Amino acid sequence: MKKNYILFFLATLTFFSFQNMNAQNKVINSALQQNIEGLSIYPNPVNSQNPIINIISGQSLIKTIEIFDVLGKHVFSTVLMGKELNISNLRRGIYILKITENKISISRKLVVK
């Protein structure tokens, strides 16, 4: 009788271990797929005398750009069809760029000097 309980316990433990590993693999795979291929943002830091930054990706699709200050306040948003973004309306400081392309969003830090 004890052997049956032990076998049942081991089978249950094995089943839940595999389920947990599958769930972790799905989370890891979805995190890996959340990159915009070939994304490049330059110059960074950018100075206020030349307030143009280039945002380039491998697919060169239309991008939605949102800019937040370090406190999380939304300060600017636009739709970018080319690669150049004019940020002359931003003051000196550190900002978070949220770039969305093809339903994939990614955040990057931007420094304005």
Condensed to tens digits (0 to 9), the pLDDT of residues 21-36 reads 555 555 555 544 578 8
Tell me: do 70 and 98 sit in the same domain: yes
The domain containing residue 47 runs over which residues?
40-112
Is residue 17 very low, low, confident or very high in pLDDT (cuts 50, 70, 90)?
low
Burial class (CB in 10 A: 0-12, 13-18, 19+), 63: buried
Q: pTM for this structure?
A: 0.69
Q: What is the pLDDT of residue 9?
A: 65
Q: What is the pLDDT of residue 62?
A: 95
Tell me: do 47 and 81 sit in the same domain: yes
Tell me: do 15 and 70 sit in the same domain: no
62-96 per-position pLDDT tens digit: 999 999 999 999 999 999 999 999 999 999 999 99
Please say if the pLDDT value at position 16 is more than 70: no
Tell me: do 61 and 94 sit in the same domain: yes
Tell me: do 81 and 28 sit in the same domain: no
Domain count, the chain: 2
More confident residue, 76 or 20: 76
Tell me: do 21 and 66 sit in the same domain: no
Q: CB–CB of 78/85 below 8 Å?
A: yes
Tell me: do 27 and 64 sit in the same domain: no
